[in-house]
Amino acid sequence: MPTIVSVDDSTVPGEGSSRLLLLVSSDNKHIVVEEDIMSRSRFISKQVEGFEATSQRHAILLPFSSFVLNKVIEYCSHYRGYYLLEDDPDAAPPGRSPVREWDQEFLDVDRNMLLRIIKAAHYLEIKSLVGSCARAIADMIRGKTTEEMREILGVENDFTPEEEHSPSSKCTG
């Protein structure tokens, strides 16, 4: 559950047509963003609904850094007002679709950053961004041997010899 702290009215500017939200990153950076931009995030939308019920204004504390948060806001800003099929809760899980060109450039970041973005997108429930990041990671491992995958993702072979030599120890019994 996110930590929600009450904020003073003066902290959050704007009461007009486009409401503003205060997002607080794990490194305690305060970022003000229009509600419309973040409406792609189901997590934020649910939080805002909660605010309306209590008629109080809050800041939303998020468990990731401002650097990652800014990247997510950049994504949401780019697709502000766009309908993306992946974000439609009624749509079936998408199959193999090519990554959008803008997303490709947007996700041209180092591996660790990509992993942080997908984790943040998952937390914020932005399915389209999760899907694009997952696609980017799947592309990263496509055609690679097991050893190459370990190297790319920084993991070690932790199987016992018996486990390792079966394609799937549970499968082959």
Partner 1 sequence: MNNVEKPPARAYWYAAADDRLAHLKGVSPQGDVKYIASARDTVDDEIEAARLAVCAMRTRRNALAPISVLPPEILARIFELHAIDCPHGKVDYYRADRMNLRFGWIASATHVCRRWREVALDHPRLWGRLAFNMGSKWVEEMLARVKAAPIFVSQKLPYCSPPTTGTVTLMHPAIPSRLSQVQELNFSGYLEHMLPLLTRPAPMLERLELSTDVDMTTQVSIPINFLDNHAPRLREIELRNVSHAWGVFPSRALTELKIAFSINPIPTSFAQFLDFLEGTPTLTKLTLECCIPSASHFINDRVVSLPNMSALTLAGPTTDVIGVLTHISVATSTKLGLSCSSQDLTGDECCNVLPLIMAHLGTNSSRPSSIRMFSLHSVDISTHIMKACRDEITQEGRPVFILEEGVPDVSLRLQCRISTDEREASFLHRICGAFPLRDVRALDVNILHSHCPDLNWVDMFGHCTSLRHLCVSYIPAETLCVALGRPTVEVKQQEHGKNARRKRRAKGPLLFPSLQTLYLHEVNFEIPERYSGDLYAALRSSLKTRLTRKAGLRVLEIEECTVDEDQIEQFEDVVDEVVWDGEVGEMEEEYEEEFADEYYGYGYEEDEFGYDSEDVDVFPW
**What is the contact surface with partner 1 in residues (CB under 8 A)?**
93, 95-96, 111-112, 115-116, 118-119, 122, 130-131, 134-135, 137-138, 141-146, 149-150, 153-161, 163-164, 167-172
**Of the two residues 12 and 115, which places its CB atom closer to partner 1 in the complex?**
115
Angstrom distances, CA of residue 110 to CA of 114, 116, 123, 133, 140:
6, 10, 20, 12, 11
d(CA 39, CA 43): 9
Query: Do 87 and 127 meet the contact criterion of CB atoms below 8 Å apart?
Result: yes
Shortest distance, position 74 Cβ to partner 1, whole Å: 20
Shortest distance, position 14 Cβ to partner 1, whole Å: 34
**Of the two residues 16 and 95, which places its CB atom closer to partner 1 in the complex?**
95
Write down how long the chain is: 173
Shortest distance, position 83 Cβ to partner 1, whole Å: 21
Shortest distance, position 154 Cβ to partner 1, whole Å: 4
**Of the two residues 89 and 93, which places its CB atom closer to partner 1 in the complex?**
93
Shortest distance, position 149 Cβ to partner 1, whole Å: 5
**Of the two residues 17 and 157, which places its CB atom closer to partner 1 in the complex?**
157
**Of the two residues 9 and 110, which places its CB atom closer to partner 1 in the complex?**
110
Q: Mind giving me the DSSP string for 92-103?
A: PPP-S-PPPHHH
Angle at CA of residue 18, ends 13 and 19, nearest 5°: 45
Which of 14, 42, 32, 112 has its CA nearest to residue 73? 32
Please give the structure tokens belonging to residue 39: 């409406």
